[in-house]
Amino acid sequence: MSGPTDDSPAAAGPVRRSRDVPMLVRRARAGDPRAVARLITLVESGDEVLPQVAAALAPYAGQAQVVGLTGSPGVGKSTTTNELVRALRTRGHRVGVLAIDPSSPFTGGAILGDRVRMQDHATDPGVYIRSMSSRGHLGGLSAATPQAVRVLEGAGCDVVLVETVGVGQAEVEVASLADTTLVLLAPGMGDAIQAVKAGILEIADVFVVNKADRDGADATVRDIQGMIALGERGPGEWRPQVVRAIAARGEGIDDIAAAIDKHRDWLERHGELRRRREARAAAEIEAIALGVLRDRIGSLRDGTQLPTLAAKVAEGAVDPYAAAGELLSQLGTG
């Protein structure tokens, strides 16, 4: 990213606290990392100017290839991301990285670990790295992530890597919002079986068996190949690729990049890229709408309607379905 339009120290303060959306977007477009950081903070915290941010960034939607990386804690996602960034930079791409931490908002080992493992690129103006949490965001992880992707697209990133820990359904959903999803496994962790349990198998476009320097890598590759073979696939359907890597030594990274390219080609040839992006937009709209509804129901709880209805249900005067119907009708529209 090119330098900020106004690099004077005096400009840093206003940007850091600003809610001047047109100014922030203008600066982010010019590659000012502070403006990008501020916009993502606004997204992450579900700030009231969020609709304005979304409106200003809408024209830049779809300009980046979004690659999700998921897998168990410690499997090597950040190390792989760091190496992929290096490979993408060599090819001249501008790269954004979002490390999503669903649990701990601003502290925690995972985020510190990400910083350490990705610090190779800390001073590269063509790389933007951000850890984010979605606690408090209206609509949660599935709304915050695409919006943060859009900030990075607005800032000129043509590839965005999204790292999520594959532990829960929300993280699986976020990973499935990417154009291409990499699922990382490591030998001897029972990971292949875990992957099936967590529903991760369905979302994987590319499996990376990382830590291939360890015993059992062959067995893990075999297990996962076996599971892929069991899956039913129509003609022309994508067959997940399996790639070995030793991310800690930068080995296998070119193979991962090649698998991503191959999947990207397939997406484009089959109209699947568009379909996935529409699915992502649908999930985003739904999450925002549900967030609004949840908020309104929450505010009803502080009012008199809900307690009144609850008293009626408790004494048997009204059934809970009728009460819920009444509550919904009071929410109104728009």
The residues binding ligand GTP (CB under 6 A) are 71, 73-79, 110, 113, 117, 165, 210-211, 213-214, 246-248
Count of residues interacting with Mg ion (CB under 5 A): 3
Cα–Cα nearest to 78, from 103, 105, 115: 115
- How far is the C-alpha of 104 from the C-alpha of 135, rounded, in Å? 8
Candidates 107-115, 139-147, 218-226, 246-254: pick the segment binding Mg ion (CB under 5 A): 107-115
**Contact criterion met (CB below 8 Å) for 201 and 227:** yes
Q: 């979304």: which residue's tokens? A: 54
Nearest approach, Cβ of residue 230 and ligand GTP (Å): 26
Minimum distance from CB of 186 to ligand GTP (Å)?
8
Please provide residue 300's backbone torsions phi and psi, each rounded to the nearest 5 degrees. -65, -35
Q: Which does 29 bind (CB under 5 to 8 A by kind): ligand GTP, Mg ion, none?
A: none
Residue 210 binds which entry of ligand GTP, Mg ion, none, CB below 5-8 Å type-dependent:
ligand GTP
Residue 181's closest CA among 152, 156, 202, 155?
202
CA 331 from centre of chain: 31
What is the spatial distance between Cα 74 and Cα 166, in angstroms, rounded to a whole number?
A: 11
**Of the two residues 35 and 133, which places its CB atom closer to ligand GTP in the complex?**
133
Nearer to ligand GTP, 188 or 307 (CB): 188
Residue of 45, 70, 78, 82 that binds Mg ion (CB under 5 A): 78
Q: Are strands 159-165 and 95-100 parallel, antiparallel or unpaired?
A: parallel
Taking the complex as a whole, the smallest distance from the CB of residue 83 to ligand GTP amounts, in Å, to 9
Q: Which is nearer to ligand GTP, 100 or 287 (CB)?
A: 100
> Using CB atoms, what's the residue nearest to Mg ion?
78
HSE value, Cβ hemisphere, 13 Å, CA-based, for 141: 25
Angle CA(165)–CA(168)–CA(169) in degrees, nearest 5?
120
What minimum distance in Å lies between the beta carbon of 116 and Mg ion?
10
Least Å distance between CB 72 and ligand GTP?
A: 7
Stretch that binds Mg ion, among 76-84, 189-197, 240-248, 266-274 (CB under 5 A): 76-84
Q: Is 72 in the site for Mg ion (CB under 5 A)?
A: no
Instruction: Give dist(CA 186, CA 241) in Å, integer.
Output: 16
**Residue 12 CA to chain centroid, in angstroms?**
27
Residue 20, binding choice from Mg ion, ligand GTP, none, Cβ under 5 to 8 Å by partner class: none
**What is the closest distance, in whole angstroms, from the C-beta atom of residue 48 to Mg ion in the complex?**
31
* Minimum CB distance to Mg ion smaller for 46 or for 71: 71
Collapsing DSSP states into helix, strand and coil, what is residue 292?
helix
CA distance 128 to 94: 8
- Residues of this chain that bind Mg ion (CB under 5 A): 77-78, 114
